[in-house]
Structure 1
Amino acid sequence: MSSGASNGGASLCRFDVLVAGGGPAGCAAALSLVRAGARVVIVTPVVSPGWRVGESLAPTARPLLERLGLLDRIAADGHAPCYGNLAAWGGDALTGVGYQFGPYGDGWHLDRARFDAALRQAAQAGGACWHAGRVRSVQRHQDHWRVTTGEGGVLQAGYLVDATGRAARLARRVGAVLVRSDHLIAVAGLLGPPREGSVELERTSLVESTPWGWWYTAPLPGGERIVMAMTDAELIAGLHLLDPGVWWTQVQLAGHIRDRIAHGEGPPQWLRVLTAGSSCASPAAGTGWAAVGDAATTTDPLASRGIVTALATGLAAAQAILSDRAGETDALDAYARRIAAVHAQYLNAQAAQYRREQRWDTPFWHRRH
């Protein structure tokens, strides 16, 4: 194994694997690698505390969390249960998919900051080093990478893991191309908890289509509610959805969403704009590197698989790196092929889902039919 420590002041710190990004995908990869004996450093910027957009985590995450040794902790960490998903899609009536009869039980409505912190703490407790900062440059030198961070640190690693999110900053620097399929945008608002004496929160997520896109809402563990308007980036200005007043008026036109938020405190004081389109790194891995999570494959929030994909790709990339180190020269290419195949399968499923909604003759839906 390599030796060295991340102390910020050393001229050169050596690791087996450098993970760029400290979200769920990066931490899943790091935790798997350190448990296999690799020396790992996670390079990630310091995140300012504040509102994080929550997510619903499907029950299919349970076996992945169990592999990471984190299932019991997450289950006991105060996240709210999620009993399934409801949708008004292709018609006015609500249809749903319940989790209670599935093989894994219920999912969760996450406190994202708490969830991310649990994975980060587990990775550090397992032995991963932490380097606060961003990757500024990478250079390949025979059998290793030389990485310079924005703070002037110089790190050496045999492998790189890109967990930088949708931007795939590291993968693009080493030659990957980011292939985007659409330009979906989320305009998210956080609503306060229900007024005193109101009915108990519904523990399902809800989607409702509209002529210009669709709405999503889910409760959060603290009683607040996330509500997101989903549309294409080029339609935002004409819809004026960045104006909280207009955004709130549009919420009231979506009957099921309006009913779900009726007992909450609104409108939101401000809105957050998030990129939500689908993309894939091509390739998602190569000699000495692999992309994970959103850096490898991003999916429409309609698919409800963002964190599940993050955990699964983190685990799979870690195994590919360990196999490559053991002499399986096709391991990283096989991982890249797997990512490409999974993303292609997802795109087919996404197209079929959008074709189910045929009620509106509008630009948003024209692009998806």
Structure 2
Amino acid sequence: MRSDGSSGGARGERCDVLIAGGGPAGCAAALPLVRAGAQVALVAPVGSPGWRIGESLSPAARPLLERLGVLDRLAADEHAPCYGNHAAWGRDALTAADFPFGPYGEGRHLDRARFDAALLEAALAGGVCRHTGRVRGARWQQDHWQITTSDGSVLRAGYLVDATGRSARPARLVGAASIRSDHLIAVAGQLPPPGTGTAAPERVSLVESTRWGWWYTAPLPGGGRVVMAMTDADLLTGLHLLHPGVWWAQARRTGHLQDRISDWEDPPQRLRVLAAGSARTGPAAGPGWAAVGDAATATDPLAARGIVTALATGLAAARAILADRAGDTGALPAYARRIAAVHAEYLRAKAAQYRREQRWDTPFWRRRR
């Protein structure tokens, strides 16, 4: 495979492992594989995918970043500190979960584009070869995967890793199923940095429940802020939350979110609708392939575990692939069982958390009880 960062037009190029997707999960899988001597190709589009749900990084990511050997690189980027989470959930008053008292100290409010780029740069510097595009087809032939990409290239790989996020297209191509638990979505907007003279932002994220769902907000690097309204897809039409003016009016009627957005007079010019529901791929691995990150187990943003899960599953899938290469035929099935068990535990915890909110007898909350 070519390692100059270009797509390369040759047909039939061969690698040991092909990773579809260049986000945190894909890079977390790539780094240990290439360090173990595997020839790794990463297929991903050019450019940043833009901001996503979850711009805050939990302190629990620290040991994973250390294991990947990228903690110092990311520390140099000076992402803003995150001291914890505040929530108005089940009652009007705020409760706080403060990070600095935990074993790993404070978290981070990420510049997500910079964070993802730093992980990708580390993977490329380690010897991972990048192929520009997306995986469009995957077929097993005798002893390898034959993989076609969006630019028409045909690649061959001994193993395939799906790190494409919630779409999990490669996993679907090889026969896995999507198992969804709900249809939560986020209607999200970014507020630009306000004018000069405003107070420094609180370095905490905020969750606040409401009749039709809940709100999330967190400060962004440079003084901006991300604000998201979480509800179910089928409730959107009645709520009119896709209209920036209605979305903004709802945000300004809250008990605590309104304090975080008081420096802004106008709503965002554009809102984005992002999938945020709980889902898993079943199975999350099979002969010669594995899914990682949201492609394996996608969780409600309320759990605040998306990036940590991406890193952890990437590392775990890499270990399973290396073990399989060494002759342990049970490694990939064991990884799939582990993903299923972790997701089941998450669903139990999610149900318990939603049951804490008993103030409203509305469709959104009834579904979660």
* TM-score bracket, shorter-length normalisation: over 0.9
Aligned AA (1:270): R
Aligned AA (2:233): A
Structure 2 regions of 5+ residues with no counterpart?
none
- 1:286 and 1:22 mapped to 2: Cα distance? 21
2:16 matches 1:5: no
Q: Which residue of 2 aligns with 1:81?
A: 81
Query: Secondary structure of the equivalent of 2:136?
Result: strand
Q: Which residue of 1 aligns with 2:96?
A: 96
Q: Which residue of 2 aligns with 1:347?
A: 347
Q: Are 1:78 and 1:221, in contact at CA under 8 Å, matched by a contact in 2?
A: no
Q: Are 1:54 and 1:226, in contact at CA under 8 Å, matched by a contact in 2?
A: no
Distance 1:265-1:36 versus aligned 2 partners, 3 A rule: farther
Query: Secondary structure of the equivalent of 1:201?
Result: coil
Query: Secondary structure of the equivalent of 1:308?
Result: helix
Q: Are 2:54 and 2:304, in contact at CA under 8 Å, matched by a contact in 1?
A: no
Q: Which residue of 1 aligns with 2:203?
A: 203
How far off is 1:143 after superposition? 2.1
Query: Secondary structure of the equivalent of 1:77?
Result: coil
Q: Are 2:16 and 2:159, in contact at CA under 8 Å, matched by a contact in 1?
A: yes
Query: Secondary structure of the equivalent of 2:226?
Result: strand
- 1:172 and 1:154 mapped to 2: Cα distance? 19
Q: Are 1:43 and 1:135, in contact at CA under 8 Å, matched by a contact in 2?
A: yes
Q: Are 2:51 and 2:112, in contact at CA under 8 Å, matched by a contact in 1?
A: no
Query: Residues 142-221 of structure 1: matches in 2 within 5 Å?
Result: 142-221=142-221
Q: Which residue of 2 aligns with 1:315?
A: 315
Query: Secondary structure of the equivalent of 1:166?
Result: helix
Distance 1:89-1:197 versus aligned 2 partners, 3 A rule: same
- 2:265 and 2:206 mapped to 1: Cα distance? 18
2:142 matches 1:138: no
How far off is 1:78 after superposition? 2.2
Q: Which residue of 2 aligns with 1:277?
A: 277
How far off is 1:54 after superposition? 5.5
Q: Which residue of 1 aligns with 2:14?
A: 14
Q: Are 1:20 and 1:43, in contact at CA under 8 Å, matched by a contact in 2?
A: yes
TM score, norm. by length of structure 1: 0.97
Query: Residues 253-292 of structure 1: matches in 2 within 5 Å?
Result: 253-264=253-264, 266-292=266-292
What is the total number of aligned residue pairs between the two structures? 366
How far off is 1:74 after superposition? 1.3
Query: Secondary structure of the equivalent of 1:160?
Result: strand
- 1:28 and 1:9 mapped to 2: Cα distance? 26
Aligned AA (2:106): D
- 2:162 and 2:50 mapped to 1: Cα distance? 25
- 2:226 and 2:264 mapped to 1: Cα distance? 11
- 2:35 and 2:51 mapped to 1: Cα distance? 32
- 2:175 and 2:142 mapped to 1: Cα distance? 17
Query: Secondary structure of the equivalent of 1:255?
Result: coil
TM score, norm. by length of structure 2: 0.97
How far off is 1:134 after superposition? 1.2
2:45 matches 1:45: yes
How far off is 1:304 after superposition? 0.3
How far off is 1:148 after superposition? 1.1
Q: Which residue of 1 aligns with 2:333?
A: 333
Q: Are 2:92 and 2:255, in contact at CA under 8 Å, matched by a contact in 1?
A: no
Identity across the alignment (%):
73
Query: Secondary structure of the equivalent of 1:218?
Result: strand
How far off is 1:53 after superposition? 5.4
- 1:169 and 1:50 mapped to 2: Cα distance? 20
Name the stretch that deviates more: 209-218 or 41-50: 41-50
1:306-333 CA distances to partner (integer Å, 9 max, x unpaired)? 0000000000000000000001110000
Aligned AA (1:190): Q
Q: Are 2:48 and 2:113, in contact at CA under 8 Å, matched by a contact in 1?
A: no
How far off is 1:50 after superposition? 5.4
- 1:232 and 1:22 mapped to 2: Cα distance? 29
Structure 1 regions of 5+ residues with no counterpart?
none
Aligned AA (1:71): L
1:106-143 CA distances to partner (integer Å, 9 max, x unpaired)? 00011110000000100000000000111121110122
Distance 1:294-1:364 versus aligned 2 partners, 3 A rule: same
1:24-48 CA distances to partner (integer Å, 9 max, x unpaired)? 0001101111011100000112236
Query: Secondary structure of the equivalent of 1:230?
Result: strand
Aligned AA (2:159): Y
Q: Which residue of 2 aligns with 1:356?
A: 356
Q: Which residue of 2 aligns with 1:298?
A: 298
How far off is 1:72 after superposition? 1.3
